Homo-oligomer: A and B are copies of this chain.
């Protein structure tokens, strides 16, 4: 079996060239293009060229607030594990996931609701610029929607890319009804890896 010996940064560069080539001339203004390519890179799934939806300027707002030291809150540990924390911290920001916090687990149990819901409520206490990235739980997005409607939280950007077959499409449609910047993967697809990679695309973006 023949394979090429390449450094990781060469592999990434070559991968992006292949993706660009297979997109067959389709292109987006930056930093949208970087986000689309990274979603394809992380999944090898070109559906992301069609299903990603950006509210007007959402991608630029994301880059801007991350550079201003935004807190990025994810719905799963897996998504937070995939985000380049050191880089976020270099901007003065942080990456948080509350889903396994003891207070969240206890409160979800006592109220008989999901941990995803309680963890979104916990995110509502964060001061300063805020990005919410949901790659797993539609319940987290639905809880977020309710909190926004109740005036309890107002993120600067919502990354709404839960994956699955039940309530997922609906939860994304709800987020797109709001007047808050969003990046959403329409339909069933998404995931913690997609949530993380969208964050990383904005974190790594260079003008």
Residues of A within 8 A of B (CB): 1-4, 6-8, 11, 14-15, 18-19, 41-45, 47, 76-78, 80-82, 114, 138-139, 142, 163-168, 170-171, 173-174, 177, 187-193, 196
Contact = CB atoms under 8 A, between A and B. Distances in A.
A1 B192 contact: no
* Most B-side CB within 10 Å, residue of A4, A42, A80, A166: A166
B191 A139 contact: no
Given A2-B170, A77-B82, A191-B191, 5 more contacts: A15-B166, A43-B43, A43-B189, A43-B191, A78-B81
A6 to B, nearest CB: 7
Given A1-B174, A138-B3, A78 B166 contact: no
A163 B6 contact: no
Contact of A6 (B1, B3, B167, B171): B167
Contacts of A138: 3
A1 B177 contact: yes
A164 B37 CA distance: 12
A133 B6 CA distance: 22
20 contacts: A1-B170, A1-B173, A1-B174, A6-B167, A7-B114, A8-B114, A11-B164, A11-B167, A15-B165, A18-B165, A43-B163, A43-B189, A43-B191, A44-B165, A45-B45, A45-B47, A78-B81, A80-B81, A81-B81, A193-B193
Given A44-B188, A173-B1, A78 B164 contact: no
A189 B45 CA distance: 7
Closest 5 CB pairs between A and B?
A44-B188, A81-B81, A3-B170, A15-B165, A78-B82
Contacts of A7: 114
